[in-house]
Structure 1
Amino acid sequence: MWAVTLPSMRILICPDKFAGTLSAPEVAEAVAAGWRDTAPEDEIVSRPLSDGGPGFVAVLAEALGGHRLPVATTDPLGRPVTGEVLVVDDPAAGGRTAYVESAQACGLHLLSDAERDPKATTSYGLGVLVATAVETGARRVVIGLGGSATNDGGAGMLTALGTTPLDETGYALPYGGAALVAVAALDGVPRVRGVELVAATDVDNPLTGLYGAASVYGPQKGASRADVLLLDSALERFGAVLERDLSSCPPGLAALPGAGAAGGLGAAILALGGRCESGIGLVSHLIGLDAAVDRADLVITGEGSFDHQSLRGKLVAGVAGAARDRGLPCVVLAGRCSTGRREAASAGVTESYSLVDHFGGEERGGVEQALTRPAEGLRAIAARLAGQWSR
């Protein structure tokens, strides 16, 4: 009797970050290691993902290579931190493209819960990163937006780029979103050297109003109801000043989709003549996700919390939908799973597994273990999956 040898499988691993524990590349590495523990002959392709928020630069650096330039900058409260500018040769852009990540300088994760106060936090540190990217000689600068602690409409970023908001007496305003209630003019010309600016974000909120930056995202950044009303009024005033004083600013700035991204950073980038682009779409294109899905036999994705929001425009939904459209199984790994099986299946998710359950559930300390031993848990789950799925 002849032995039948089945061909090895192609496993595509394309997770988002597990916020607060592992970056997307670290998640992919842990899952790949677990799969190889059980099925070393299978072909594994890793394509970590980001939508423009925390981990944006790390994901693109792994996929594109390029040079990662460390930059001394500041956090949302003006304290020293180190960020990065990723510089990549890009013939399509006519030279180099530089990538920066807003969360490295004004990310919410840089603050303790007690420090969250969008009335005072500033995007100045992001401006330092953008200015450095411009000075590299890049023709295009792509700014990943997401996970910000700020609500200053990009005023701090503009200050770092040479354009300072002033009050009616001509004095520079202090940092923070609240100070913009007194903005009267801008002083100085933005030093962007004609560089093409792109905001990578999947947030389409306007700058102000019921669905604006302050109303929707202010509370999670520490804003009270009174703070939200103050910040929304401040952004309305600042948006009008941007339209009046920056010749590159498009009309109707405050209502433009994406203007409210990252506490109004989208508005500042639009006012500088930039544009907004889907972060998920941009990253997927740059890392060749569609081609990788085409060649896969099984897709594994994941994120920190797989819940009802995951299936409404987030990365996991996009990956699962792509797999479903090709008739491929898609497995989701997460820190915690709370999505119903029927809802997940309709979105293209074949199975889902959580670290909390792997470590015994909430009653047995699973949450704590998921936070402290995520890589170990993911590796073990992936090894078990390989035993179930590999040929």
Structure 2
Amino acid sequence: MRVLIAPDCFGGTLTAREAADAIATGWREAKPDDVVTQRPLADGGPGFVDVLHAALNGDIRYITVTGPLGEPVEARWLSVHTASLDGDSPDSASPVVDSPNAGGRRVAYIESAEACGLHLIPAELRPQSCETATTRGVGELIRAAAVDNDVIYIGLGGSGTTDGGAGMLAALSGASAHDDAVVDTDTDDGVVDLTGTSLVVASDVENPLLGPHGAARTFGPQKGASPEAVERLEAKLAAMDVLKPVADISGAGAAGGLGAALLSLGATVTSGAGLVRELTGLDAALDDADVVVTGEGSFDWQSLRGKLITAVASGAAERGIPCVAVAGQVSVGRREMGAAGVQEAYSVSEHVGSVQKAMAEARASLVETARHVANQWSR
């Protein structure tokens, strides 16, 4: 069989590349005659820059920015010179990479988690930081990328912040770190010049800013927020006048409201998973596959709202090939996963006996689960 391995990262344990290698290892151990192809992916969250760098080459740039707790952190973005093709829209990026001296556009890919990711906040500090963590470093990344890029894609996902993008807006407006909460984007004083630069949000979710499926109530608890803190965060986001016109747009709630802040600057929104699917040539890989295995840390209801698994499953369904998901934990019902195009899902933690073992021995547990999956699906 021709097997395509196309997972996202397993948050907190394995990168997408490491997860793909572990699944491929387990599959080959069980079925050594199968042809296994690895295609690690991302949906805008952690791994966005690494996955696109592997597909597009380009130049990785480094900069020290303000981290979510206010301390300096080293962050990266990817700069790619794309070929100018007839019919290209000004906010699209062709996966065809051209010579740096030829015509075309400079396109930057920023991973917001590099500057405000949950992984940058120690677990014991999250109950306190959930209400104060800042996206200021994302604004600093955008300022740097805007110097020599025509289009900037900002991948959203995996954030440890729920500040509605106030920190990012403050950095772009030139406000001091102490003014994050009172940034006024109606003034032009000190605002970085983004004229001629297209901003595109590559979101990993479709959530609006407010309400039961919004930034605070959906993602706040994952970032350490208590029920009381969640309500304070909801009220804070609702009070930000600059976000009100865009609050209901799909993706506004991504990365703790960072999506809404970018929309308020005129950014357009695209599916992060769809963008990666296009730029990494996933469809061509699917054309050559008999079965595809995807996965992520937790396959839950949020996975069905614009995350990577649904993008991979959709591509598989278009070709009439089965899509199987392997995840650290699985809480999606069979009917829901079937509607999304996933034939079967396997929980690593259930297979090895506990969540603790699945996380402590992440690679070995995933290899073992993949062997089981191969025995079930390789014919």
Identity across the alignment (%): 51
Aligned partner of 2:165 in structure 1 is 154
- Identify unmatched segments of 5+ residues in structure 1: 1-8, 165-171, 244-251
Pick from 357, 375, 379 the counterpart of residue 369 of structure 1. 357
- 1:380 and 2:373 equivalent? no
One-letter amino acid matched to 1:217: F
- 1:127 and 2:131 equivalent? no
One-letter amino acid matched to 2:219: Y
Give 1:311 deviation, angstroms: 4.4
Give 1:194 deviation, angstroms: 2.6
Larger radius of gyration: 1
Q: Any residues of structure 2 matched to 1:121-270 within 5 Å, and which?
A: 121-135=133-147, 137-164=148-175, 174=178, 179-180=181-182, 186=187, 187-208=189-210, 211-240=213-242, 252-270=245-263
Pick from 62, 67, 71 the counterpart of residue 70 of structure 1. 62
Moved over 6 A (4+): 182-185
Aligned partner of 1:329 in structure 2 is 322
Aligned partner of 1:106 in structure 2 is 116
- 1:95 and 2:97 equivalent? no
One-letter amino acid matched to 2:360: T
Moved more, 18-27 or 50-59: 50-59
The number of residue pairs the alignment matches comes to 358
One-letter amino acid matched to 1:196: S
Distance in 2, Cα, partners of 1:286 & 1:294: 16
- 1:30 and 2:22 equivalent? yes
One-letter amino acid matched to 1:174: H
Residue deviations 1:264-312 (CA, integer Å, cap 9, x gap) = 2222222322211111111111112222222211111112223454445
Give 1:376 deviation, angstroms: 2.0
Residue deviations 1:178-233 (CA, integer Å, cap 9, x gap) = x34x9696442223353111111143444445654334433433444554454444
Alpha carbons of 1:217 and 1:285: their partners in 2 closer, same or farther (altered >3 Å)? Answer: same
Distance in 2, Cα, partners of 1:63 & 1:355: 28
Moved more, 152-161 or 35-44: 35-44
TM-score, normalising length from structure 1? 0.80
Give 1:255 deviation, angstroms: 3.9
SS in 1 for 2:178: coil
Distance in 2, Cα, partners of 1:201 & 1:211: 15
TM-score, normalising length from structure 2? 0.82
Aligned partner of 1:168 in structure 2 is none
Distance in 2, Cα, partners of 1:38 & 1:217: 38
SS in 1 for 2:240: helix
- 1:47 and 2:51 equivalent? no
**Alignment root-mean-square deviation, CA:** 2.9
SS in 1 for 2:157: coil
One-letter amino acid matched to 2:370: A
